[in-house]
Amino acid sequence: MKRILITGGAGFIGSHLCDRLINEGNEVICLDNYFTGSKSNIVHLLNNPYFELIRHDVTHPFFVEVDEIYNLACPASPVHYQYNSIKTIKTSVMGAINMLGLAKRIKAKILQASTSEVYGDPDIHPQPESYWGKVNPIGIRSCYDEGKRCAESLFLNYHRQNNVNIKVIRIFNTYGPRMNPNDGRVVSNFIVQALKGEPITIFGNGMQTRSFQYVDDLLEGMIRMMQTDNSFTGPINIGNPNEFSMIELAKEILDITGSSSKIEYKPLPEDDPTQRQPDISLAKEKLNGWEPKIQLREGLIKTIHYFDQLLQQS
């Protein structure tokens, strides 16, 4: 049994990670300030003697004895990370400093949940880890993009300078149950609009592409990354390389839900990437042949079922 700290543990991805690690026989400490996370995501774990929930903001130091740390704390959707952009930067940068300081003191292994947003609006397609990215450092998305890029730099420098055992993953678009219905992300947006019979809002011409990864595939990649040899730090792409346009995604959701919603086009937001697709050859090589198992339609059916139940309760 390991004692594992998960920052952002009450969030969409963090709560699924809590479930997985508890089910594997670990003791889990879940840290969250509930800015985007929700106690409802982990309420089913509260009576488990091996689960502990602590309300805390990672921009402030935290002291605990653990074996591993998963640093997931940060708002990840444009609606939330642009709501308080300074706070977003602080969470990425100061949160990384505080968690790396903790890992250094207690000699814990630490994983940073970075993002495909470090690639910005890429010139190279698909994106390998060797690509440095094309990011607007002063745009409306920069609070998230540059915050995560700085966090990666901090992780690698703590490793080089202080020999901290680090792992860095770059997460590509991930979806599944427990997504916030109001987070402004394309999958949750389209599903909620379709289930309510509202117009499906597509920004731009709908030909921009994303690669959608179901949350269970991400968890498998994260845990395998934690198990890699100490000499391998990453960064490593964790995502589904199957690429879909916004129009294709909308049509798939309309087909599954049987919704009569119409598609409505709106102007493209500033600095919105036109394409995003991971090169996962490094993950296949380093993570024992890891690759996504759940394809888009199967994952969407599970996610739509979750949102359908959620909307019926509200």
- In this structure, is residue 113 part of a structural domain? yes
- The whole domain housing 41 covers 3-175+214-240+277-293
Active-site residue identified among 70, 81, 119, 144: 144
pLDDT at 274 over 90: no
Q: Span 117-139, mean pLDDT?
A: 94
What is the pTM for the complete model shown? 0.95
Average pLDDT, the chain: 95
- In this structure, is residue 271 part of a structural domain? no
Q: How many Å apart are CA 303 and CA 195, to the nearest integer?
A: 12
- In this structure, is residue 99 part of a structural domain? yes
Q: How many Å apart are CA 28 and CA 42, to the nearest integer?
A: 12
- In this structure, is residue 235 part of a structural domain? yes
Q: Span 218-235, mean pLDDT?
A: 97
Say which CATH number the domain at 139 has.
3.40.50.720
- In this structure, is residue 123 part of a structural domain? yes
Q: Span 265-270, mean pLDDT?
A: 83
Q: Span 50-70, mean pLDDT?
A: 98
pLDDT tens digit sequence for 188-221: 999 999 999 999 999 888 898 889 999 999 999 9
Note the pLDDT of residue 271.
65
pLDDT band per the 50, 70, 90 thresholds, residue 75: confident
pLDDT tens digit sequence for 7-30: 999 999 999 999 999 999 999 999
- In this structure, is residue 197 part of a structural domain? no
Note the pLDDT of residue 16.
98
Note the pLDDT of residue 232.
97
Catalytic residue check, 144: yes
pLDDT at 79 over 90: no
Interior/surface letters 78-89, b for 16+ CB within 10 angstroms, e for the rest: bebbbeeeebbb
Portion of the chain with pLDDT greater than 90, in percent:
87
- In this structure, is residue 201 part of a structural domain? no
Note the pLDDT of residue 182.
85
Q: How many independent structural domains does the chain possess?
A: 1
Note the pLDDT of residue 80.
75
- In this structure, is residue 194 part of a structural domain? no
Q: How many Å apart are CA 29 and CA 4, to the nearest integer?
A: 6
